Structure 1
Amino acid sequence: MPEHDPVRDAARYRVQRDSAGEQGEQEPAAPRGRMENRHQWVDVVIDQAIARGEFDDLPLAGKPIPGITRHDPDWWLKALIEREQISGVLPEAIQLRKDDAVLAERLDALRTEDDVRSAVEEFNARIVSARRQLLGGPPVVTPLRDVDREVREWHARRRVPEPAPAEEPVRPRRVGRRHWRRSTS
């Protein structure tokens, strides 16, 4: 049997501590500056700040922190992604949904019909590739896009009717005022 068994040592310590508490003996105070006393220093600093009023009128005083839900352990990660506008790290199914929502805007930025066709074909290829992968995660529910229909819609958005030129309003004639030219002689 080992001479120093940590479990037995801990049990002996607890028994000695409990018996000392029952007899009214005080434990010696820990030396200052050790980690055990840091919490007291923090409490004092916070109390002083409260006394100075540094915590008065905070914008979210008494309200829950926005964006934090109780049952979401990844709230901080989602907040970071949104705040820093990080893209490309989402699961492919969710990234495809986001790209699907802004596809028309992306296509409107293109100049030629061939560019539109290749962009829609590339988007469809990403959907097919994501459906073939068995990596788990959310299912791919983004529908394939019809290339010809997207090209027709792209043309229709480009042919927005131009507003008719505004006619200049007719100015009424001034009646009753005459401008006399001064003759210089």
Structure 2
Amino acid sequence: MRAWRAKGPDDAGADPVRHAVQYRVDREADLERAAQGGATVGEDDAEAAGAPSAAQPRPRMDDRHLWVDTVVDQAIRRGEFDDLPLAGKPIPGLRGTHDPDWWLKSLVERENITGVLPAAQLRRDDAELDETLDREPEESRVRQVVQDFNARVIDARRQLMGGPPVVTPTRDVEREVQRWRERRRAHGIR
């Protein structure tokens, strides 16, 4: 059996309830080691170790948080939390306001998922449409990209799904082709 020592008043865990829980956790660990090693622990030893018996009830759920704190403290002492990435740095993505859908937005952004969130995705596509069109070498392809964009906007407006309304406007194909030509001329591309 491991010798258990009481923590001094200068230790971080000077709480007597935590000491009792720590004592019980250490004793149960010793009992499990003895059982795995083939050695048998007598009933007197089990009672002395603080293991629950028929007369002694199991720890209450209210005390479970103390056990978790003890396990975390033991892991800290073993150094299992040393040298973690971002140690001492702010957690990326945390903002001052609470957003219940933060995890979904970060997943969509991280995995570059498109076509799932029509309103947000269409706004992004609308903002990037000029850049997308500028990468196209042919006028017929520019027309096709604008027509596909307009079809997605109209389709999203027809959807009866929940969520924000689709306020992204459709684009005039001829006007976008004209703007594409002007941007190409301005950059010296024919």
Common fold by TM > 0.5: yes
Q: What is the CA distance between 1:32 and its match in structure 2?
A: 0.8
Equivalent positions of 1:54-133 (< 5 A) are 58-60=87-89, 65-69=91-95, 71-89=98-116, 91-133=117-159
Equivalent positions of 1:1-185 (< 5 A) are 29=24, 32-33=28-29, 40-49=70-79, 58-60=87-89, 65-69=91-95, 71-89=98-116, 91-160=117-186, 162=188
1:74-96 deviation line (CA, Å, top 9, x unaligned)? 3233223323333333x211111
Gaps of 5+ in 1: 1-25, 163-185
Given residue 73 of structure 2, which amino acid in structure 1 is its aligned partner?
Answer: D
Aligned residue in 2 for 1:4: none
Gaps of 5+ in 2: 1-19, 33-58
Q: Could you say what secondary structure the match of 2:186 adopts?
A: coil
Greater RCO, CA 8 A, separation 6+: 1
Query: How many positions carry a matched residue from both structures?
Result: 131
**Structure 2 length-normalised TM:** 0.55
Q: Once superposed, what is the RMSD of the aligned Cα atoms? A: 3.5
Given residue 162 of structure 2, which amino acid in structure 1 is its aligned partner?
Answer: G
Query: In 2, Cα distance between the equivalents of 1:72 and 1:101?
Result: 23
* Identical counterparts, % of pairs: 49
Query: In 2, Cα distance between the equivalents of 1:123 and 1:147?
Result: 10
Q: What is the CA distance between 1:71 and its match in structure 2?
A: 2.5
Bigger Cα Rg: 1
Distance 1:150 1:38, change over 3 A: closer
**Structure 1 length-normalised TM:** 0.57
Asked if structure 2 preserves the Cα contact closer than 8 Å seen for 1:117 and 1:147, the reply is: yes
1:110-136 deviation line (CA, Å, top 9, x unaligned)? 122111112111211111111122112
